[in-house]
Amino acid sequence: MDARLNYFGNPVAAKFARYINSAGKVVTDSTLPATTQELVKIRASQINGCGFCTDMHTKDAAHAGETSVRLNLIAAWREAKVFTEAERAALELTEQGTRIADAAGGVTDEAWANAAKHYDEDQLTALVSLIALINAYNRMNVIIQQPAGDYQPGQFG
């Protein structure tokens, strides 16, 4: 399977990627826990059917020490006992923020309040920004049908 567009070789894409990646660095450098960041990226990518991002972020998380049990249970996090309450709040916010079109009211006050119990304002800002960012990456990769499976941890770093 080949991508519809060589996004990695296009000069317009390269310029856009520099800007979007610098926005991502703001989140990466925030106090939002790195583990939570990876869980959010994986869950949104699963929901959006983005194989490229799911491949990348599960491999990055495993490389950073995440367990296979937790990685395998992200899609079923509600029934899994392996996530903290803070991680569960982030995953719920991720799901609701990713499925905006499916939810009549968008993100519920309950999901927001639960996340706010576990994260300070800077972390919440990073979390919201990350949810928006990973959804943008997912959409680009799904639109161009970027193939998955070949990513190596640190490939883009």
Report pLDDT for 140: 94
Give tens-digit pLDDT for 24-78: 999 999 999 999 999 999 999 999 999 999 999 999 999 999 999 999 999 999 9
C-alpha dihedral, 2 to 98 to 131 to 13, nearest 10°: 30
Report pLDDT for 14: 86
The tokens 């903290």 sit on which residue?
84
For the domain made up of 11-144, the CATH class stated in words is: mainly alpha
| E-only strand ranges, the chain | none
User: What is the three-class DSSP state of 153?
Assistant: coil
Report pLDDT for 7: 84
Do the beta carbons of residue 27 and residue 130 sit within 8 Å?
Answer: yes
Domain ranges of the chain: 11-144
157, 148, 136, 156: which is closest to 53 by C-alpha? 148
Model confidence at 143: pLDDT above 90: yes
Model confidence at 157: pLDDT above 70: no
Do the beta carbons of residue 48 and residue 136 sit within 8 Å?
Answer: no
Give tens-digit pLDDT for 93-110: 999 999 998 876 789 999
The encoded tokens of residue 81 equal 């006992």
